[in-house]
Chains A and B, each alone.
Chain A
Amino acid sequence: QVQLVESGGGVVQPGKSLRLSCAASGFNFSNYGMHWVRQTPGKGLDWVAVILYDGTNNYYADSAKGRFIISRDNSKNTLFLQMNSLRPEDTGVYYCAKGLTNLALMCAFDYWGQGTLVTVSS
Chain B
Amino acid sequence: DIQLTQSPSFLSASVGDRVTITCRASQGISSSLAWYQQKPAKAPKLLIYAASTLQSGVPSRFSGSGSGTDFTLTISSLQPEDFATYYCQQLNTYPLFTFGPGTKVDIK
Contacts and interface: CB of A to CB of B under 8 A. Distances in A.
Contact of A59 (B45, B89, B96, B99): B96
B97 to A, nearest CB: 4
A115 B42 CA distance: 8
Contacts of A26: none
A100 B45 CA distance: 12
A68 to B, nearest CB: 14
State which size class the interface on B falls in. 20 to 34
Interface of B is mostly: loop
Contacts of B45: 112
Given A100-B46, A110-B55, A113-B43, A44 B87 contact: yes
A106 B95 CA distance: 12
Interface residues of A, number: 20
A114 B46 contact: no
B96 A47 contact: yes
Contact of B43 (A35, A59, A108, A114): A114
A95 interface: yes
Interface of B: 32, 34, 36, 38, 43-46, 49-50, 55, 87, 89, 91-92, 95-102
Interface of A: 35, 44-47, 50, 59, 61-62, 95, 100, 106-110, 112-115
